[in-house]
Amino acid sequence: TPVCKWKTDALTNSCSFYCQAPGGIATPQVYAQLLVLYLLHNDMNNARYLWKRIPQAIKSANLELTAVWAVGQRIWQRDFPGIYSAIAAHQWSENILPVMEALRETTRRRAYGLVAQAYTSIMAEDFAAFVGYSVEDAVKGVVSQGWQADPATRMVMPQKPDPPPVSLVPNEQQLARLTDYVAFLEN
């Protein structure tokens, strides 16, 4: 039987699924879990190669595994509306459901961030498709965050996001480093 453990990486605060299977082949459930975790971390490279090495027999026999990959394909194509519909299209098992819901939320966050960064004005319908909400809900949500919306033109004007806070280096450390550099360059 395969042995599977969760491993939390304290540095990146992320979970990686560690799996060791004698015979080198895991169960479909394990494959599905690993695949969906790669998707959650937007690690499409590892997701694609994982899909390639899953034996064909397991792929054909497993609806849920194929459904996870369908979501992955949408992510690979950067088809935001497709991602939401692929997630909604399947009834996920209790192992996969929480990860899929997390994936949907990270996709939304990514969509908001991208629209704010890339657009000075965007059609309300396009924006709603990006974030997987109805036009009404999508617009209501961002107006409360300070974005502008013009019902006449049906345009939404994103607010540029605040820059991330900067961490400062203490001055003594800086001075010490500069001293090291000068010493190095002069020798």
Partner 1 sequence: MASALEQFVNNVRQLSAQGQMTQLCELINKSGELLAKNLSHLDTVLGALDIQEHSLGVLAVLFVKFSMPNIPDFETLFSQVQLFISTCNGEHIRYCPYDTFLSLLRMVLMHLFLSQPLRGVGILKLAIDKMQINTNQLTSVHADLCQLCLLAKCFKPVLPFLELDMMDICKENGAYDAKHFLCYYYYGGMIYTGLKNFERALYFYEQVLNEDPKRAIYHIFKPLSNAYHELAQVYATNNPAELRSQVNKHSETFTRDNNTGLVKQCLSSLYKKNIQRLTKTFLTLSLQDMASRVQLSGPQEAEKYVLHMIEDGEIYASINQKDGMVCFHDNPEKYNNPAMLHKIDQEMLKCIELDEKLKSMDQEITVNPQFVQKSMGTQEDDVGSKTSSYS
**Could you give the string, one character per residue 80-119, with x where binding to partner 1 holds by CB under 8 A and - elsewhere?**
----------------------------------x--xxx
Q: Any contact of residue 23 with partner 1 (CB under 8 A)? A: yes
* Interface characters, 128-167, with partner 1 (x: CB under 8 A): -------------------------x-x----------xx
| Tokens (6 digits) for 99 | 């990860």
Distance, in Å, from the CA atom of 153 to the CA atom of 126, rounded to the nearest integer, reads 13
Shortest Å distance, C-beta 91 to partner 1 = 30
From the CA atom positions of the chain, what is the Rg in Å? 22
- Indicate which single residue of 5, 6, 169, 171 sits in contact with partner 1 (rule: CB under 8 A): 169
Identity of the residue, 18 or 98, whose beta carbon is nearer to partner 1 in the bound complex: 18
Q: How far apart are CA 178 and CA 180, in angstroms?
A: 5
| Contacting residue, 2, 8, 42, 49, with partner 1 by CB under 8 A | 49
Q: Measure the CA–CA gap between 166 and 152, rounded to whole angstroms.
A: 40
Among 27, 46, 66, 106, binds partner 1 (CB under 8 A): 46
Q: Smallest gap, in angstroms, from Cβ of residue 112 to partner 1? A: 13
Residue 130, amino acid: F
Q: Residue 42 interacts with partner 1 (CB under 8 A)?
A: no
Cβ-contact 64, 90 below 8 angstroms: yes
Rounded distance, CA 172 to CA 177, Å? 9
Q: What is the 3-state secondary structure (H, E, C) of 89-117?
A: CCCCCCCCHHHHHHHHHHHHHHHHHHHHH
Tokens of 155: 């345009």
Q: Which residues bind partner 1 (CB under 8 A)?
A: 23-25, 45-46, 49-50, 52-53, 78, 114, 117-123, 126, 153, 155, 166-169, 174, 177, 180-181, 184
